[in-house]
Structure 1
Amino acid sequence: QAGWQDEILGKRTLKSYYGTFLRGNITNKNVDLKAPPAVWAGYADLVDGPPADKTVPWYIEEVDGKAVFKSPWGLVDFYVSASHFNTLKLKWPASDWEKWTPVKNDNGTWSFQSVHGTWMSAKADKSAWQQPASST
């Protein structure tokens, strides 16, 4: 989809349909969601709008024409991965499973499709996962 780079590349937060924000845990490599405001050791908590002192947004970059979500922690670049069993994990380096196809929705929001054809998604229980259809 031409032009997606202008809209989504750079430092970004990822807000779900439920108002929660994507975060990753560098210790156990899990990816989940959290309602702001909160800061837990090891997590990058995300808020809508300009980052506050306690928040660190993801870096959305382009690799091979796809979007990758790079962690903000620095020492090793971890990426949100479309892992086994429809889970989301942090992995490095960025391979095909860490590349997402951006798709702009009719309401102006963005959805991200994995190499498996699944979609980055959120559940009401604050878990992040991959679903087979882009319904939320």
Structure 2
Amino acid sequence: MGNLTNKQIHSHIHVSQKQASALSNTMGAGSGRSPCQIAQMALAAPDEKSHPLVLSFIRVSSAEEISRVCDASGIPVQAKNEAISEFGKGHHDRAATILVAAAEQKLRESTRELSGQAGGKRMLKSEHGTFMRAYDGEWKVDLMRGEPRDWEHWYVEDWGSKVVFKAIHSPGRFLRARADGKVDLVPTHPNECPASKWKPFKNSDGSWSFLSIHGTWLSGLGNDTVCCMWECKSSEKFTLPWW
């Protein structure tokens, strides 16, 4: 599937008035995200806020809507079915607990696997066959067509439950997600720049996806642009060849 604009994504996802009201009370009315997106983010990057967000969503949603969010978040089928079963019994808190626990386990497994398999000297190859390129002398990135060279070489560093992408150039510069959806390079150390840390997720096809601090996904588009998107689709999946 191709990527949608943020406006198209909002119109594509079903949002009931009851859902919007309930989740805006939890997330904040100015979040600018649909209830489905909020719940999906809570499951994609679980933390101490995830349970109340997922619970608020479950209380005003149908089983079909819960199933769609689970599928989009990569929740295992068994956990999804157990949660929907509890939802059908009216056990909303139990359903939320099952989903958040499954999301936390998925994140732990993805992080361990990335540390063991994908860390070190890597390239980021998009579904379009292009490679992410870090410019020398400019704070920009894009996608390069053809055989990769030095500028397409990255160091993938493990930072606990997150990873950092460090360009090959000196002095050091790191891949950063901006709140406006753009992606650039910064010289700031990751300890002082949370936006340069990404949560890794292993996809069922063996590719990897990376979630930013803003709840958006690292994306490599067909027009050679590197940016962040709200949904994780084909352009948000990367393979990581060694260099």
Same fold at TM > 0.5: yes
- Paired letter, 1:86: G
- In 2, Cα distance between the equivalents of 1:84 and 1:101? 16
Bigger Cα Rg: 2
Q: Which residue of 2 is the match for residue 127 of structure 1?
A: 225
What's the TM-score once normalised by structure 2's chain length?
0.47
What's the TM-score once normalised by structure 1's chain length?
0.82
* Structure with greater proportional helix content: 2
Rate the CA distance shift 1:5–1:123 in 2: closer, same or farther, 3 A: same
Gaps of 5+ in 1: 47-56
Matched, 1:117 2:117: no
How big is the shift at 1:63? 2.0
Gaps of 5+ in 2: 1-107, 235-243
Q: Which residue of 1 is the match for residue 52 of structure 2?
A: none
Q: Which residue of 1 is the match for residue 135 of structure 2?
A: 25
Deviation beyond 4 Å, 4+ runs, structure 1: none
How big is the shift at 1:69? 0.2
Partner SS state of residue 195, structure 2: helix
- In 1, Cα distance between the equivalents of 2:181 and 2:158? 23
- In 2, Cα distance between the equivalents of 1:38 and 1:107? 23
Q: How does 1:36-115 map to 2 (within 5 A)?
A: 36-37=146-147, 44=151, 46=152, 57-74=153-170, 76-91=171-186, 92-94=188-190, 95-115=193-213
RMSD, aligned CA: 1.5
- In 2, Cα distance between the equivalents of 1:38 and 1:109? 19
- Paired letter, 1:109: S
Sequence identity (%): 31
* Structure with greater proportional strand content: 1
- In 2, Cα distance between the equivalents of 1:13 and 1:83? 21
Partner SS state of residue 26, structure 1: coil
Task: Check whether the contact 2:131–2:145 (CA below 8 A) recurs between aligned residues.
Answer: yes
